[in-house]
């Protein structure tokens, strides 16, 4: 029997006992015992309030525990994902390093193809566990998901938008695991900042 059922049973027994005492008091000498009946009714009401409060508290504790367990399941992989992100970065850099070398030979082309396939397989595996990549080029700067490395003049881009991504960011179930390191477009009429200070 769980604690809620025990409390409910105790509350029912207490209620029956106080009602029986109240009936007995009313059937007995009604003149001097009305104050005792009133005291018993007040005590019954107070005990009912206590039972309701403890039931509400138990529901709150149960709800908080469920939320904690849900978060633990959802974000248990966070440390593991952080450890895997440099692998994804390395594979991306390997693919980038072969760009522009298409005429370098069949060996370079086959290595690039193998690395691209490995990278796609790796990103697919991360995607199965709700890991999303942040590559925010052209998007407005969001300090919740992006880390500004520098502000650069970019006349063809919107001010405060991401011009380049130095390192891609990642989300796990919508929570930032690693913010994207970005370069942000500076407004043309923005005041000059003394970078030597």
92 phi and psi, to 5 degrees?
A: -65, -40
Give, for all 197 residues of the chain, the pLDDT tens digit: 566 676 677 767 777 777 776 676 666 545 556 788 888 889 999 999 999 999 999 999 999 999 988 888 878 888 899 999 999 999 999 988 888 776 677 888 888 899 999 999 999 999 999 999 999 998 999 999 999 999 998 888 888 899 999 999 999 988 999 999 999 998 776 555 554 44
CATH number for the 130-188 domain, one of 2.30.22.10, 2.170.130.10, 3.90.380.10, 1.25.40.10?
A: 2.30.22.10
Domain ranges of the chain: 3-75, 77-129, 130-188
Residue 155, pLDDT score = 82
Residue 181, pLDDT score = 94
Residue 91, pLDDT score = 93
* Whole-structure pTM value: 0.61
Residue 197, pLDDT score = 44
Residue 17, pLDDT score = 74
Residue 1, pLDDT score = 53
């Amino acid at each position: 029997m769980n604690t809620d059922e025990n409390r409910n049973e105790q509350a029912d027994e207490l209620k029956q006992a106080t009602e029986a005492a109240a009936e007995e008091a009313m059937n007995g000498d009604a003149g001097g015992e009305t104050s005792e009946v009133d005291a018993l009714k007040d005590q019954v009401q107070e005990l009912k309030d206590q039972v309701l409060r403890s039931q509400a508290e138990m529901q709150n504790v149960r709800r908080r525990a469920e939320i904690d367990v849900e978060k633990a399941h959802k974000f248990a992989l966070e440390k593991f994902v952080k450890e895997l992100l440099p692998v994804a970065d390395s594979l991306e850099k390997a693919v980038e390093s072969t760009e522009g070398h298409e005429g370098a030979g069949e060996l370079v082309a086959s290595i690039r193809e193998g690395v691209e396939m490995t990278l796609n397989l790796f990103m697919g595996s991360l995607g199965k566990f709700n890991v999303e990549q942040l590559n925010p080029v052209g998007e407005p700067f969001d300090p919740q998901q992006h880390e500004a490395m520098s502000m650069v003049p970019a006349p063809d881009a919107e001010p405060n938008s991401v011009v380049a991504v130095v390192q891609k960011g990642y989300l796990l179930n919508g929570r930032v695991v690693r913010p994207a390191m970005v370069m942000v477009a500076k407004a043309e009429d923005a005041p000059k900042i003394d970078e030597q200070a």
